[in-house]
Amino acid sequence: MHTEHDRVTRFAALMADYERPMRRLCSAYADRAADRDDLFQEIFLAVWRALPAFRGEASERTWLYRIAHNVALTWQARQRRREARESPLTEQSGVAAEVDVRALELQRAVARMRPGDRTLVLLWLEGLSAAEIEDVTGIKAATVAVRLSRIRKSLRPNEVMP
Amino acid sequence: MTDDASVLQAAWMSSPPTSGDQRRTTVDLILERDRASRLRERRQQIGAVIVMLLLVPVLVWAAVYGISPLVRTAYALMTVGCVAGVAAQWFFLDGSRRALPGPSDTRSQLRNSAFMLECQGWLARTAALWSAPVFVGVLLIGLWLYRERSAAEAVALFALDVGVWIATGIFVGRAGSVLARRRRQLEDALSDLDARDSA
């Protein structure tokens, strides 16, 4: 990273590549659109600050997911009180036609999970392997596999749509 | 809904795309947030430097050349209190900086952030104690006023001093409670992440 311009270019490219996964992650942590935007900006603010120290020793993807989950968990602890959950289906009615209803059901189910389970399942849903999840969370890959197997069972219809 | 991996992952990833214009605006907003936060931090550092360079020398001078031993003791205490206040502010800012989420693995990050929040919380809860030299110093000046000038002036100064001392303890102590609550939430998330699964 040589100049400020290089840093901005690299940052914009990272955002282009990871915007959608990060928006999905935000939807699992924040109910309101304004909160999701705030969390999204906090994640990329942390990415911007960490960028000069990134030398590529870790994969870009796991590096970014580490930052994102660390910011999300810290952000959630900072919220004064959890407000009554708004229905993502109601709030996103403007884009309902574009969004798969199953995705919204899944979003709700993930949002209801405990923080540890939610972190693991979000990484798995984004297609990270157990080894990559170990790299992001610090939990052994074997433990990750066992826990994910249990969490996936909880995503069956009677659990997801009470 | 099903627990089939590919179906769940496909459903999850079916979010709508965002436009390039929106992304550019977000980049600008983030860079602006970064600039604003660095500016805020610089202002706090400048405030601490001003206290150290302007206020402390004046207090030291008064502690050395004050008109009576009582006044000299009062200013000496206020000097100690000011230095303690600047040091506390420095530790607090340093703690905030080190608690910022970065690219560590989640367990290490949560552990580190919880520890830093505990340190900051302790600093906030004990604010009435480490700021005591300043307020005791002012009380001694009030005592000097009582002896040398008038009881009314002394009582007014006592009341103001004790009022600000109590308000400081309450206000900063409340901030300490907020930090303690955040630390507990991070520790809950950490223990939840660490939970072994017997299933």
Show which of residues 58-77 on chain A sit within 8 Å of chain B, judged by CB atoms. 58, 63, 66-67, 69-71, 73-74, 76-77
Q: Judge whether A147 and A120 are in contact, CB under 8 Å.
A: yes
Read off the pLDDT of residues B118-154 as tens digits, 9 standing for 90 and up.
999 999 999 999 999 999 999 999 999 999 989 999 9
In this structure, chain A runs to a length of 162
Would you call A58 and B31 a contact, using CB atoms and an 8 Å cutoff?
Answer: no
Enumerate residue ranges in chain B where pLDDT < 70: 1-3, 15-21, 23, 196-199
Instruction: Quote the pLDDT of residue B53.
Output: 86
Residue B122 lies in a domain: yes
DSSP character at residue A112: T
pTM of the complete model:
0.82
Structure tokens at A25: 């992650």
Residue B3 lies in a domain: no
Read off the pLDDT of residues A86-100 as tens digits, 9 standing for 90 and up.
444 445 544 444 556
Instruction: Quote the pLDDT of residue B194.
Output: 83
Size of interface A-B (CB pairs under 8 A): 165
Segments forming the whole domain that contains residue B140: 22-194
Residue B103 lies in a domain: yes
ipTM (interface pTM): 0.79
Q: Judge whether B185 and A76 are in contact, CB under 8 Å.
A: yes
Which long-range contacts does B56-62 make (Cβ < 8 Å, 24+ apart)? B56/B82, B56/B83
Residue B5 lies in a domain: no
Q: Judge whether A120 and A70 are in contact, CB under 8 Å.
A: no
Residue B104 lies in a domain: yes
Report the residue from A16, A45, A76 with minimal CB separation from B30: A45
* One-letter identity of residue B144: W
- The CA distance from A62 to the nearest CA of chain B, in Å, is 9
Enumerate residue ranges in chain A where pLDDT < 50: 83-90, 93-97, 157-158, 161-162
- The structural domain count of chain B equals 1
3-class SS string, B115-172: HHHHHHHHHHHCHHHHCHHHHHHHHHHHHHHHHHCCHHHHHHHHHHHHHHHHHHHHHH
